[in-house]
Amino acid sequence: MQAVRDQSWLVAIAASLWGVSAIWRAPLAQEYPAVTVAFWEHAVLVLLTAPLVLPAVRRLRSTSARTQLSVIIIGAGSSALATVLFTAAFRVGDPITPQVLQKMQPLIAIALSAVVLREHIRPKFAAFALPALLGAWMLAFPDPLVATVQSAQAALLATGAATLWAAGTVLGRLASAELDSRDLSVLRFTIGLITLGAVAGLTSTPLSLQWSAVPAIVPLAAISGLLALSLYYRALARTPASRATLAELAFPLTAAAVGLLLLDARLSSTQWIGFAILLVTISSLIIHENRSPRPAVAVTGRACDAVPAVDSRIG
């Protein structure tokens, strides 16, 4: 039997596409409400997957109530609300911090899998969680000893998005017993679009866009969203999780390069230290979970996909 070739390089390309999303999201976030940006991002995604929507809905209707509820929460929360929070973070913060804080998602997913899937967290988990939280704190504040609510806004919004994406990972694992990843992606985009339309109506948020926004909305959804996810799913099936984790470092590194070179972002020296601590700790955690005979979380078959995932984001 011919060995399957490792495709870490493809994971790195997908992660880089996530990293360049700030090129389009940051300017849009400054000009339009976050709900508006998220609505049209989802609209493009639904348009691109339109032929798959009705078959996915039909398959959803034949699933259990637990799966249907999970999919609704994923679409409304992990897709719609998370994208709103993530976009809003670019309005109040720099273009680097919100994206790098998304590396917290695996840590949050592990904690949520322990709650939702009743997995057992071993004491060694603290050896990864505490440095990661320290790194996130240092990254969030230019002066980590002077923390205010205003200076924490972007970090809180980005962390909220990461938490919702992590919840989507765990619930997606539950729903994957009855639905494949393609159906889950299509349904999350569709439910997310419906949710955002309802939120816009309830909050009287205008959904109109100038034509000048189209060249940013379309690649944001199509390239950093759908294309990146498609490449990631394809590569992940052929790449060991520990190697995929290292390849995913292309995401925050690309985000930092884009922020510094194209968007005039600046981080303090302590923020750069926090950046490094966070990336090293989260990467070490995921590698440990996939290689150690005694992982920090006693993962069963139901939760095994919740640990290394960054695949709940749409853009």
Per-residue pLDDT of the chain (315 residues; tens, 9 = 90+): 444 566 778 888 988 898 899 999 999 999 999 999 999 999 999 999 999 999 999 999 999 999 999 999 999 999 999 999 999 999 988 888 888 888 787 778 777 777 766 667 777 888 888 888 888 888 888 888 776 776 688 889 999 998 998 888 788 878 888 998 889 889 999 999 999 999 999 999 999 999 999 999 999 999 999 998 888 877 766 776 657 766 777 888 888 899 888 888 888 899 899 989 988 888 887 777 777 777 766 655 444 444 444 445 554
Note the pLDDT of residue 304.
42
Note the pLDDT of residue 76.
96
Beta carbons of 135 and 274 less than 8 angstroms apart = yes
Note the pLDDT of residue 195.
97
Note the pLDDT of residue 191.
97
Q: Report the 10 Å Cβ neighbour count for 148.
A: 9
The dihedral of CA 313, 53, 232, 213: what is its sign?
negative
The phi and psi torsions of 296 (rounded to 5 degrees) equal -65, -25
Angle at 58 between CA 163 and CA 76, to 5 degrees: 20
H or E, element range at 7: none
Beta carbons of 279 and 134 less than 8 angstroms apart = no
Note the pLDDT of residue 314.
53
Instruction: Give the span between the Cα atoms of 228 and 216, in whole angstroms.
Output: 16
Note the pLDDT of residue 28.
96
Half-sphere exposure (Cβ direction) of 160: Cα atoms closer than 13 Å? 17
Structure tokens at 146: 């002077």
Instruction: Give the span between the Cα atoms of 310 and 252, in whole angstroms.
Output: 12
The phi and psi torsions of 56 (rounded to 5 degrees) equal -65, -40
